[in-house]
Copies of this chain bind each other. A is one copy, B any other.
Amino acid sequence: MSKNPFEIYTEKPTTIDGIYSQAEVGLANRNSGILLETLALDVTPTGSHYLLSHFDVPLLNPTTHSLQFSGSFNAPFEMSIADIMALPAVTMPVTMECAGNGRAGVSPRSFSMPWLYEGVGTSEWTGTKLAPLIEKACPNDDVVEISFTGADYGYDMGEPHFFGRSLTLAQIKKLDVLLVYAMNGAPLLPQHGAPLRIIVPGWYGMASVKWLTNIEALTKPYDGHQQVKTYQFKAHKDDVGTPIQSIRVKSLMVPPGVPDWSSRKRFVPAGGVDLIGRAWSGDGVSIEAVEVEIAGEWRVAKLSEKKDQYAWQKWTFTWQAEPGEYILRCRARDVNGNVQPLDPPWDQAGFANNAAQCVLVFVA
């Protein structure tokens, strides 16, 4: 597989605001987003959690699959899924968001998965803590990073590779990374990384490598495609880039009332309307406030306490809706003072757009 048949695709096609290619629609049909009405639930129903697969989903055999520790470890080993399940188990609700969520709102749009708002979800992940296993494998003194490689293989920008990412030893200590084999109380589904994946709470989803086959101790910084070529904030194509890591502060609302099937515009009967939504930030940082904009005025929503460090918080606001047309918006502020912008932050690949959601509503 040394020849590169995809050289002609290394230049991404030009995109035009509001107009999409069939390739983008193909990605949207293949990758699936959360149904926004399920934001009413603490845990996203299985199958409604967003899903983005770079390549094909590998269909692996959980009874023969093994995880290899390799590279500059002093005591490397190999584990079966049964071995991993015999270790102390942790179940953790984690809000995960795709780094590309909101890409379709950034102008000019980058050619890739055209998320509007749907690339998010919260699941209860069950697994065991990664840090003690790294410690057991005993990285040598010259180790600078640990890489995680999945079984999913394909081409991106003409470059063939297994999907892989890395973390530094300091990040692994700090980040509560889990080695995960179950989701919402059931074995991982094939498309969510069965039989084994990692979950990196508080970071965008690209870090949570699926179909995990190998953990390698590296003496040089990892140069995998998905670490250095993509998932970098870039002001322009030739920018060196800054790695994308923590999730930016964000909120979403359940679109109120009932929809029109195709336009998804909303109709709300006049009177009291209970607006419901969720807000989250990166690294387990709590939300301090959520505001809702109605007819140009920002009003403070009622915010639920944070129950789980890495899971979103619920917010509600009762709106006395009067007849008319409205564009509702919501924005969150975290306890570190980060606030959602009203306009999409610029990134050439449309990453991490956390601009306030707009929902068009007709009240009658």
Contacts and interface: CB of A to CB of B under 8 A. Distances in A.
Q: How many copies does the complex hold?
A: 2
Contacts of A114: 25, 29
Contacts of A9: 260, 262-263, 265
Interface in A179-199: 186, 189-192
A174 to B, nearest CB: 30
Contact of A21 (B20, B192, B261): B20
A125 to B, nearest CB: 15
A343 to B, nearest CB: 17
A103 to B, nearest CB: 11
Contacts of A258: 1, 55-56, 153-155, 160
A91 interface: no
Interface in A26-60: 26-30, 32-33, 35-38, 40-41, 45-49, 51, 53-57, 59
Given A48-B190, A269-B1, A30 B23 contact: no
B6 A265 contact: yes
Contact of A45 (B12, B190, B255, B362): B190
B267 A6 contact: yes
Interface in A242-258: 255, 258
A169 interface: no
A191 B49 CA distance: 11
B24 A261 contact: no
A38 B190 contact: yes
A111 interface: yes
A5 B269 CA distance: 11
**Residue among A21, A27, A190, A269 with the most chain B CB within 10 A?**
A190
A319 B9 CA distance: 26
A267 B20 contact: no
14 contacts: A19-B21, A20-B24, A22-B116, A29-B33, A29-B118, A30-B36, A30-B264, A35-B191, A45-B191, A46-B189, A48-B57, A154-B259, A154-B260, A156-B261
Closest 9 CB pairs of A and B: A32-B32, A47-B47, A28-B28, A5-B362, A20-B20, A156-B261, A3-B364, A37-B56, A154-B258
Given A37-B56, A37-B57, A45-B191, 14 more contacts: A5-B364, A6-B362, A9-B262, A9-B263, A19-B21, A23-B263, A28-B28, A30-B35, A38-B191, A47-B49, A48-B189, A55-B258, A153-B258, A154-B258
Interface of A: 1, 3, 5-6, 9, 12, 18-30, 32-33, 35-38, 40-41, 45-49, 51, 53-57, 59, 104, 111-112, 114-116, 118, 153-156, 160, 186, 189-192, 255, 258-265, 267, 269, 362, 364
